[in-house]
Chain A
Amino acid sequence: MKRYGFLWMIAILLIGTMAACSDNSSSSSDGGSGGEGKIELFSWWTAGGESEGLQALMDQFKEEHPDIEIENAAVAGGGGSNAKAVLANRMQGGDPPSTFQVHGGDELLAGWVAADKMQPLNDLYEKNNWKEVFPQELIDMVSKDGNIYAVPVDVHRGNVVFYNKSVFEENNIEPPKDWNEFLEVAEELKSNGITPLALGDKNVWPSTMVFESILQANLGAEDYNKLWNGEIPMDDERVVKSAEMFKKVLGYVNEDHSARAWQDGSQLVADGKAAMNIMGDWANGYYKSKDLKPGEDYGWFASPGTEGEFQVITDTFGLPKGVENPEQVKEFLTVLGSKKGQDAFNPKKGSIPARTDTDMSKYGKYSTDTIKDFKNAKLTPSLAHGSAAPEQVVTKVNQAVNVFVTQQKVDQFIESLKQSVSSLK
């Protein structure tokens, strides 16, 4: 008899779960998203401050519209790459979410807008007077041919150097103002046995951010942007100079950079093993979660030579075509763009609001400083985060950078960069 024990186990399990499952599936038959009366909010904010911010925003919406159901459909993983894949599949498969997170700039414009998948939101901007409260340069990052396609909810800054204050004090150094000064400072730090620049480029984009900072310093904000629309060629001598500088800078990074993700790179600065780290200002959130005090334990300055310029990374939400309840989605976007919505979201996420008229008292020391800079600085889109150029180009530039970091052949690098942007013309 014992021999049949196994068979019985299988049979019972199968029947049991089939029954449970058929129960379960009946409730899901209305499954498809964007159904009447429901908003599906797609993002890659699944944990920590990001998801708390998102929750606060959703709570704000529920308070104003208790009759509309809203669902959080966040997908995690590596800086949004999983979410982007799922999104692409759903859009191609004809099942768009009600609204989704996308970086302003080319990720939105050369991607979804060019693919004719988005609806313009000009009427929403008119109705809410948003043209007055969002900086024009930011609106340009979500507009094409006179139509505005998305509402920015937050802003992060890309060209920031975070540094360990006590390391700077012990070595008697000041924040460098340009890249030549950086090299001097780096040399001194190195001779004192401290890694001058922490880098964690396991996912490649952190090195691209370093190169991008150097490029922007050498070309200036305006010409830097021309690089990505093909008006300035990649073999411009300032690009070559930047590549050579990048090569020198790479001589001052930690040896195990490719073994570290960005937060392991930032950790080196937190531990005082490295002096500086070029990183977007989400690193501020990381330091805070490690119980470090802004302005005391760590400080920040604009990456050398880019003072007065602000590299923008902005998360925006738009309205895809084919959504069943566009009016309800617009209600949500209205909350998203409102002062209350932005002030609910951003302090929790650790970003600054995209609006320039929000309540400063809600933000911490780093953010208030950054909000001031945001109002006055010249805004430029970031390449590493998909705003400055189409994703095709970004992927190829990342590829070129990754090879350059190891091989350090300037000629070959310039050649690869030229190829990366060749599809732009």
Chain B
Amino acid sequence: MAKRLTKPLVYVILIAFSLFYLMPVYVLIVTSLKPFDQISLDTMWQLPSTIDLSSYSTAFSKLAPNIMNSFYLVIPATLLSALFGSLNGYVLSKWKFKGSELVFTAILFGMFIPYQSILIPLIVFLRDLGLYNSIPGLIFTHVVYGLPITTLMFRNFYANIPNSMLESAKIDGANFLKIYGRIMFPLSISGFVVVAIWQFTNIWNEFLFAVSLTQSDQQPVMVALQNLAGSQVVQWNVQMAGALLAALPTLLVYILVGKYFVRGLLAGSVKG
């Protein structure tokens, strides 16, 4: 029997990396607690002489009106794009048809368009659909441009599931939908977790579409976060406090869906 990697070594390496990862977070937190006149490049490492929470209250009061918009946007957009991605991935990996590889590549390619260059036709199109300057319009946009990446992720997760499992299900009389519901969906829960992490984070933090397709009271929180900065003087303490506040929902998602990373779930269903 071979031994697993020695535990203490694992912890030492992980903690070393953690420290590196926390370094910028330290600067963020320390800066957010300083009053503006104490902030300068030379004193970035120093702890604040007195803890000043005013930047948090300033940031919170400016972000609060937009926060619900972000939830209305991100939750449906994340779930819909995950669902579409999973179905596309299912079809493109397990129900291949003539030219399905071409379809896959064509969908995949959509990931690479630089969004700055297509804003004008997008605005015109959404206006024609009556979706311009509305959250449903923004959801729609994110779902469409999320399709390539979610399809890619699911297709590659499903590629690992042995075809033999599908064959035996078919022999048992299961059809397209049953196979999806009984086999593929439960197997891809860690895939859903990853897609949810990705889509939630990206849509939550996305700025370009948000600022171009919506105005004032429809705007998500990321626009409000950017608006904490003026065009001339940037109050870094407020900006960083705001960034930490705006990151909390995403962090919550990581903690919530992270639970479903557990191994037992998968091992069990593979055996079943």
Contacts and interface: CB of A to CB of B under 8 A. Distances in A.
A230 B43 CA distance: 48
A309 interface: no
Contact of B211 (A40, A86, A286): A86
Interface in A10-39: 10, 13-14, 16-18, 20-21, 24-25, 28-29, 31-33
A86 B119 CA distance: 9
Nearest to B236: A263
A360 interface: no
Contact of A95 (B80, B123, B186): B123
B226 interface: yes
A7 interface: yes
B212 A86 contact: yes
A2 B265 CA distance: 9
Contact of B230 (A2, A24, A47): A47
A24 B41 CA distance: 43
Interface stretch (B6-14, B23-31, B71-79, B158-166): B71-79
Contacts of B226: 46, 75-77, 82
B260 A21 contact: no
B269 interface: yes
B197 interface: no
Contacts of B123: 89-90, 92-93, 95
Interface stretch (B95-103, B131-139, B145-153): B131-139
B124 A6 contact: no
Interface in B111-128: 116, 119-120, 123-124, 127
Contact of A263 (B76, B192, B234): B234
Contacts of A10: 79, 192
A14 B79 contact: yes
Contacts of A77: 226, 229, 231
A84 B268 CA distance: 55
B80 to A, nearest CB: 8
B212 A282 contact: no
Nearest to B62: A47
Nearest to B69: A24
A279 to B, nearest CB: 10
B172 interface: no
B40 interface: yes
Interface in B172-218: 185-186, 189, 192, 211-212, 215-218
B228 A17 contact: no
Q: How would you classify the secondary structure of chain A's contact residues: helix, strand, loop or mixed?
A: helix
Contacts of B76: 14, 17-18, 21
Given A24-B72, A31-B134, A79 B269 contact: no
Interface string A58-84: 000000000000011111111110110
Contacts, number: 148
A133 B143 CA distance: 54
Contact of B218 (A28, A50, A290): A28
Contacts of B84: none
B49 interface: no
Interface in A300-338: none
Contacts of A13: 75, 79
A257 to B, nearest CB: 13
Q: How would you classify the secondary structure of chain B's contact residues: helix, strand, loop or mixed?
A: helix
A52 B132 CA distance: 30
B235 interface: yes
B134 A28 contact: yes
B72 A17 contact: yes
B134 A47 contact: no
B232 interface: yes
A45 interface: yes
A89 B120 contact: yes
B36 interface: yes
B227 interface: yes
A119 interface: no
A235 B136 CA distance: 56
A258 B215 CA distance: 34
Contacts of A220: none
A51 to B, nearest CB: 7
B36 A289 contact: yes
Nearest to B181: A7
Interface in A317-366: none
A123 interface: no
A73 B216 contact: yes
A271 B40 contact: yes
B72 A94 contact: no
In the complex, the 9 A-B pairs of residues with the closest C-beta atoms, listed nearest first: A93-B123, A47-B230, A31-B133, A46-B227, A17-B75, A48-B230, A76-B227, A282-B232, A44-B231
24 contacts: A2-B265, A3-B268, A6-B189, A6-B260, A17-B72, A21-B76, A24-B135, A28-B134, A29-B130, A47-B235, A47-B238, A49-B233, A71-B216, A79-B232, A83-B231, A85-B116, A90-B212, A92-B123, A93-B127, A95-B132, A261-B234, A270-B40, A286-B232, A290-B36
Given A46-B228, A82-B211, 19 more contacts: A10-B192, A17-B71, A17-B72, A20-B72, A45-B231, A47-B227, A48-B233, A50-B231, A51-B230, A75-B227, A77-B226, A89-B123, A92-B120, A93-B123, A263-B234, A267-B41, A285-B233, A286-B233, A289-B233
